[in-house]
Amino acid sequence: MCEYCGCQAVSVIAELTREHECALDAARAAEQAAAVGDLEAARSALRDLQGVLGPHTVVEEEGLFPAIAREFPEQVHVLRLEHRLFEDVCADVLSGQPSPRWAADVSAAMSALHAHILKEQDGVFPAAMTVLHAVDWEVAEDVRASVHTQPVASHVGGTA
């Protein structure tokens, strides 16, 4: 995790980072379930992942990305596509009839999620510190409030 630019001092970034930690916990559980072909355990882990990434993605895409896209449109486009990949894999596995390749898809998507989170924490969040203005941070805070996300106190399945 990035700790050199001071972005963790900004509440929006600190909260997104804590959500990343929870997402990684759920991703590891999904990967482990996929490795042994345990569809029900994978579904449970992916439901946890959706619970974190649903509002998290809204905060990123509606709160941070518009301002960042002014300077880095191609990078933001790729991040949005990756978000759709994670959503699509979750939707498939949680459907009544997941793809016969569900385990391989989960494994690949969770690996991509790890890389995606590194891109955000080591690239997007520090870039936000230089690109976003006060009004942009207010927008991000407003988006956070609109999705009614509570601060993450612990990892998925953990206790505070």
User: Where do we find the tokens 């989960």?
Assistant: 106
Least Cα distance to 2 among 113, 123, 153 occurs for: 123
Say whether pLDDT at 157 is over 70: no
* Per-residue pLDDT tens over the stretch 55-88: 999 999 999 999 999 999 999 999 999 999 999 9
Fold designation for 11-146 = Four Helix Bundle (Hemerythrin (Met), subunit A) (1.20.120)
Provide the whole-model pTM: 0.86
* Alpha-carbon separation of residue 66 from 31, 82, 115, 152 (angstroms): 31, 16, 21, 24
What local confidence, expressed as pLDDT, does residue 11 receive?
83
Say whether pLDDT at 9 is over 80: no
Instruction: Provide CB contacts within 8 A for 80, sequence distance 6+.
Output: 61, 65
* Alpha-carbon separation of residue 101 from 14, 23, 97 (angstroms): 35, 22, 11
Domain ranges of the chain: 11-146
Instruction: Provide CB contacts within 8 A for 79, sequence distance 6+.
Output: 60, 65, 116, 119, 120, 124
* Per-residue pLDDT tens over the stretch 96-114: 899 999 999 999 999 999 9
* Alpha carbon distance 141, 135 (integer Å): 10
